[in-house]
Amino acid sequence: MDLTTPYLGLTLRSPIVASASPVSVSLDGVRRVADAGAGAVVLYSLFEEQVRAQEIADLLITEVHEESFGEARDYLPSGPTVGHAGATPYLRHLERAAHAVDVPVIASLNGSTPGGWTSIATSLESAGAAALELNIYAVPGDEGLSGPDVEQRHLEILAGVRAAVSIPVAVKLSPYFSSVAAVASALDAAGADGLVLFNRFLQPDVDTEVIRVVPGVTLSSPVEARLPRTWIAILRDRVRGSLAATTGVESPEDVVAYLLAGADVVMTASALLRHGPAYVEVLTRGLESWLERKGYGSVDQMRGLLAVRDRATAGAAARAGYVAALQEAQGVYGSLAW
């Protein structure tokens, strides 16, 4: 069975990719995922805040000693260097991971502002990253920040990183744009080699006993795959770059559904956290079994069979799915046209 898959200009042995998660924090986790058959591994994210915090710490140490005796200056730490100070542990792990496995290792940058990412991206490329995934995680809570401003920030971050590296760059998007298709097309035109749909914002909860806001981290469920799957089906033939599916991947059927919609690769994190890195093999065998049962000799033969082919009917197709869902639900819940 041929599972070979193109992604970001790379050739992967499988469309199943380990998404950024705690699984890849250890070298053993990276090896186990690769040994189980993953086509690529996205390392856990390097956060903008981590880099900045280390830069500030280094700067404070330097300033404390800057008026010391001249003879001691050789013992002072060098000034902070963007892309190295807070990123050093990540860079070392990336370098070791890239040498430890025979599949592409993709670095993940998580941030929300344009500044500083270009030098970090350059360092990641030098450390052996096969590609970069820009996880632009920002909740625009400033009422003065307009929709176009948010979109422009994404384009600026992409432009800076794209100009700094020669390896492929993917952008991980949220679904909360006024027009996902327009943003996707703009990023595609600006040089993104791929889009990852979608990011999951971690929404806080409220503890009513102690009366405080508490962090809320939950693993994804298959029902969450419907939104990214819809957009992948719409964007399949409308962007030049690759499309990666993420969120809600728990079973081989979820992998198949994403591929039928038009995903080039299917990323999973929650399933690996629930079942362990070796679960990649379960997903892979399930995909192979489905392909064989349906008479397909390769993933390419079935990819995108359920994509929306006609640009003019993309909106109508989404609307038709909405209406059909309501009609089907009426038999169970009664009329939903409130």
Kindly state the average pLDDT of the residues 269-277.
96
Kindly state the average pLDDT of the residues 22-28.
96
Bridging pattern class, strands 205-207 and 16-18: unpaired
pLDDT confidence band for 146 (50 / 70 / 90): confident
- pLDDT score, position 333: 52
* pLDDT of 120 above 70: yes
Share above pLDDT 90 across residues of the chain, in percent, rounded to a whole number: 65
Distances (CA, A) of 13 to 6, 91, 229, 238: 9, 25, 22, 25
- pLDDT score, position 54: 45
Q: Strands, E, within 174-221: which ranges?
A: 194-197, 205-207, 212-214
Average pLDDT of the chain? 84
pTM equals 0.84
Is the pLDDT higher at 54 or at 127? Answer: 127
pLDDT confidence band for 215 (50 / 70 / 90): confident
* pLDDT of 61 above 50: no
pLDDT confidence band for 81 (50 / 70 / 90): very low
* pLDDT of 3 above 80: yes
Considering only 12-16, 103-107, 189-193, 211-215, which range has the smallest mean pLDDT? 211-215
Closest CA to 43 of 120, 114, 142, 110: 110
Bridging pattern class, strands 16-18 and 265-268: parallel
Three-state DSSP at 318 gives helix
pLDDT confidence band for 62 (50 / 70 / 90): very low
- pLDDT score, position 316: 59
pLDDT confidence band for 290 (50 / 70 / 90): very high
Distances (CA, A) of 314 to 306, 319, 324: 12, 9, 15
